[in-house]
Structure 1
Amino acid sequence: MDAGSPLQLIFDAHRLKRVPRTGWVMRGVGAAESVADHSFGVAFISLILAEMLDRPLDKAKLLTIALLHDLPESVVGDLPTPAAARFPPGAKRRAEMEALRELLHKLPSAEHWRAWWCEFRDGTSIEGQLVRDADRMDMLLQAHIYEQTTGNRWLEEFWPSSDDSPFELPVTQTLYKELRALRHVPKTG
């Protein structure tokens, strides 16, 4: 199959279904979600946040960014923050950009999509900011679900140490406060 062909890209993206989220695996989560599971969560949360937002945005761009945001991990893997911190400054960013270039290079929308991915990475557009917030929100939601299903708080490190919101946009801050309040409600059933 031709490298960079649309079918090859689909196969490459499909590989994310088999890439577990390394942060969860490192913390002993037995059936850790995959990167593809996470990407679906990010896309769905992005869509919900867009509905809550009081300003216009490009939903096609938003969802494209959400679907692409972790696509480079199909090549470079899911590098957890502690591991990525051991690389020279900018190395992970360069590796992801090169992977994205390699994955998309034969598509007519390649330049557009790479530019949008950079908007996510750098938070330079409302769509990019919203997906960045959705990315973090999905991680916190998943941490909450793992804590609820196990009955313990062993993922405390993922949560900010104060009630300050780690999000850029007010709509996400609102959801975060609701989610944080749920952590203090005892599990029933």
Structure 2
Amino acid sequence: MNNLLSQVNFIKEIDKLKYIQRKTKLFNSDRCENDAEHSWHLAMMTIVLAEHANKPINVLKVLKMVLIHDIVEIDAGDTFLYDTTKSHTNTEQEFLAAQRIFGLLPAEQAEEFIAIWLEFEDGITEEAKFARSMDRFEPLLQNTSNDGGTWKEYNVKYQQVYDKKVVIKNGSESIWKFAENLLEESVEKGILEK
């Protein structure tokens, strides 16, 4: 019963993810998505696109990664990918958030979630590479559906986008080729400036 109480407390706590607003807007919309919507979308993308991974992956592990990777933002907040004043890499603040939030769970689950979160952040395993590909691919699709979306809004240039999105290639060469074509088309359409 103690486990159940801890798990329910965790479930209540992560409801806060629905209130963390991202800069990227929903497809064909002017409404910003929240972290919970983003995580759900990445989970669906993982299920649908898993066959395109460079190497065989454990889909359940990738699903866990994409569903928990942003939970730390409940405490640490969302960092815009193109923010030039704040590092987008794993920070001490995010690690403390992981310890606090996942620490609400029974010890064994807390350890598993922290390990999965760290694995995603490190980006070394095939699962982490694919999860990170999904994380970078979704906003690209959103921005192309919104005539440049946050790229235009924050004056983000082609090379900045390319440099942040090339990580897609580590998880899926075929999705990266698709993404590269979208970037080129975006330049041709004038929604992404070179």
Shorter-chain TM-score tier: 0.7 to 0.9
Counterpart for residue 109 of structure 1: 109
Q: CA deviation at 1:136?
A: 0.9
Alignment deviations for residues 126-145 of structure 1 (CA, whole Å, 9 cap, x no partner):
11111111111112112122
Aligned-CA RMSD value: 3.4
The reply on whether 1:157 has 2:156 as its aligned counterpart is: yes
Change over 3 Å in CA distance of 1:178–1:43 after alignment to 2: farther
Contact 2:17 2:74 in 1 (8 A): yes
Separation in 1 of the partners of 2:148 and 2:160? 19
Question: Which shows bigger deviation, 116-125 or 62-71?
Answer: 116-125
Identity among equivalent positions (%) equals: 24
Distance 1:24 1:62 in 2: 22
Correspondent of 1:84 among 83, 86, 97:
86
Question: What are the within-5 Å matches in structure 2 for residues 1-189 of structure 1?
Answer: 5-21=6-22, 23-24=23-24, 30-53=30-53, 55-80=55-80, 81-85=83-87, 93-105=91-103, 106-107=105-106, 108-147=108-147, 153-154=152-153, 157=156, 159-160=158-159, 166-167=166-167, 168-169=170-171, 170-180=173-183, 182-183=185-186, 184=188
- Amino acid in structure 1 at the alignment position of 2:84: P
Shift of 1:176: 0.8
The one-letter amino acid of 1:18's match is Y
TM-score normalised to structure 2 length: 0.73
Q: Greater share of strand residues, 1 or 2? A: 2
Q: Which amino acid aligns with 1:102?
A: R
- The question of whether the paired residues in 1 share the 8 Å contact of 2:98 and 2:114 is answered with yes
Structure 2: runs of 5+ lacking an equivalent: none
TM-score by length of 1: 0.75
